Structure 1
Amino acid sequence: MTDGATLLLVDDHRVFADVLGEALLGEDGIDRVNRASNLDAARALIASDPPDLVLLDLMLADESGFDLLEELARRTDGPPAIVLSGSNEPRLIVKALESGAGGWLSKTTPLQALVAAVWQVLGGQLYLAPTTLRPVLDHLLSDRQGRQAAAGFVAELTPRELEVLRCLVSGMTRAEVAAHLFVSMNTVRTHVQSLLRRSDQHSALALVAFARSHGVKGIDEIDELPATTGRGSPF
């Protein structure tokens, strides 16, 4: 990267932004540091004075920095972005990287480490602080294990249990499930209890959320449901 980089700092904490902006201007190779306190101002600056890199706080007053991250990722000419956050929550870091962030830094990162990260991302590399690598990897492994466990759960269901589950995912009441499958309420109750045990969930609502998050479709997303009236909550 040549000298004269322009950075855009998007943060609604004015004192923090001013102090960091002035500090960055004192670093070799950084020519300008524009500042925006909201997404509209950031978009305007990106259009009028395109930065080489965006330093972005995700938690703005009434807005989410994720919106800008995703917009930049969709643009072929969008500048790379580093999230500058007060949090090191692994789930948020993974979500930011998936949304197009080129790196993640804590707001307490020393200036020299922050500048090193800026040059690394401007060089086309991904940056994560060493202290966040293990938590992020642990989160990814845990998520993968959860998906594998869920896949095993679905694969082990009997055809009838899967039918009951798909009916619940469609929002059917237990009475509607019984009518749709031509079985008794007691049979539906038994299948629901078995599904709760197998999935390690504690309510029908949690069971439906668990099933949906792992790709189980409702009956109405595949088959034509008979018309019903007075549909209530399945829970």
Structure 2
Amino acid sequence: MPIRVLVADDDPMVVTGLKYLLESDQEIEVVGTAGDGEEAIAQVRSQSVDVVLMDLGMPGVDGIAATRRIDQRPDAPYVIALTTWDVDDAVMSALEAGASGFLLKTSAPDEIIGAIKSVMAGDAVLSPRSTRRLLDQIARDPAVEQRRAAEVAVARLTAREREVAAAVAQGMTNAAIGAQLYLAEATIKSHVATIQSKLGVANRVGIAVLAERAGLLRPA
């Protein structure tokens, strides 16, 4: 069964371009398009959608608010934020609202298609470069309470789970983590699911944020 994608952007040229690009891949089906957040929410309600490519700067209900409302659904699709700029406040807000990652609108076609397939496989949607920028921004946040809460949450993880969490925060895929730790990819996938449950986060971005705040990426 193909991956069902909804494209939400208020620029008709962007929508047309993305639709043409995605439909060139036999594993992807564009099931709808939306010009604003309210329309995107309505489409998710009315049909089965696996992944939403969500522009953040749409009029009316913007992409951040739409992501938050979509993420509250029990059968919520993955949301990948589309942005003109690399990590900024809008991207951070979208990730906090439940987006599984983000893509620059200038991303190469194979990056966009690869991101959709990766998120469906439970893998990273952020490139290592973008992940590092995201975590650098979090590291500059002086909120002491958030750091303490992250440390308490991460303390629930086993030593192996902390290793996996740190690797996820570096933007590594399950396959790459497995190769590094000499474990099967299926084992890593199981670890990631357990880590998400223990930390109370919805996706790999949540793991990355807590790992940074708790200091897992700092030299011992």
The structural deviation recorded for 1:109 is: 0.4
The structural deviation recorded for 1:43 is: 2.3
Matched-pair contact (CA < 8 Å) for 1:6–1:53:
yes
Give the secondary structure class of the aligned counterpart of 2:140: helix
The structural deviation recorded for 1:147 is: 2.4
Match 2:137 to one of 134, 139, 161: 139
Gap change, CA 1:117 and 1:102, over 3 Å in 2: same
Matched-pair contact (CA < 8 Å) for 1:104–1:129:
no
Matched-pair contact (CA < 8 Å) for 1:93–1:136:
no
What is the match of residue 44 of structure 1? Answer: 42
Matched-pair contact (CA < 8 Å) for 1:17–1:35:
yes
What is the match of residue 69 of structure 2? Answer: 71
Q: State the identity %.
A: 27
1:77-92 equivalences under 5 Å are 77-92=75-90
- Which ranges in structure 2 are unaligned for 5 or more consecutive residues? 148-220
In the TM superposition, what whole-angstrom CA distance separates every residue of 1:8-49 from its partner, at most 9, and x where no partner exists? Answer: 000000011111101110112012341110123222221222
Please give the root-mean-square deviation of Cα atoms over the aligned residues, in Å.
2.0
Gap change, CA 1:8 and 1:123, over 3 Å in 2: same
1:23-62 equivalences under 5 Å are 23-62=21-60
CA distance in 2 between partners of 1:42 and 1:94 (Å) = 20
Match 1:124 to one of 104, 122, 125: 122
Gap change, CA 1:91 and 1:39, over 3 Å in 2: closer
Give the secondary structure class of the aligned counterpart of 2:102: strand
Q: Is 74-83 or 126-135 further displaced after alignment?
A: 126-135
TM-score for both structures, normalised by structure 1: 0.58
CA distance in 2 between partners of 1:4 and 1:148 (Å) = 45
The structural deviation recorded for 1:96 is: 1.8
CA distance in 2 between partners of 1:47 and 1:94 (Å) = 25
- Which ranges in structure 1 are unaligned for 5 or more consecutive residues? 152-235
1:1-235 equivalences under 5 Å are 3-143=1-141, 146-148=142-144
CA distance in 2 between partners of 1:64 and 1:32 (Å) = 21
The structural deviation recorded for 1:93 is: 2.7
Task: Work out which structure has the larger RCO, using CA pairs closer than 8 Å and 6 or more positions apart in sequence.
Answer: 2
